[in-house]
Amino acid sequence: MICPECGNEMFCPCETCKSRHGQEITWIWIDGEFVKCGHCGLTYHADKWLDIEMLSVRESRTDKKNVQD
């Protein structure tokens, strides 16, 4: 997931994902509801981060489609 504030990529901190991405900077769970960027500290509710991630996915799909056309 890319932070909209600092533009850096964050990775899931769960043990399964850590085995794939190693010691990369992860996001930080706060009280099980909020997520904080491990780079700049930007904090949103987990639902807001999902919205941000979905927008990013849609944009990347649109970019790929435009390149193919």
DSSP assignments along 21-44, one per residue: HTT--B-EEETTTEEE-TTT--EE
Please write the tens of the pLDDT for every residue from 8-53: 999 988 888 888 888 888 899 999 899 999 999 999 999 999 999 9
Interstrand relation of 34-36 and 43-45 (parallel, antiparallel or unpaired): antiparallel
**3-state secondary structure at position 2:** strand
What is the reported pTM?
A: 0.74
Q: Give the type of residue at 24.
A: E
Q: How far apart are CA 28 and CA 30, in angstroms?
A: 6
* 8: nearest Cα among 47, 38, 29: 38
What's the pLDDT at 38? 94
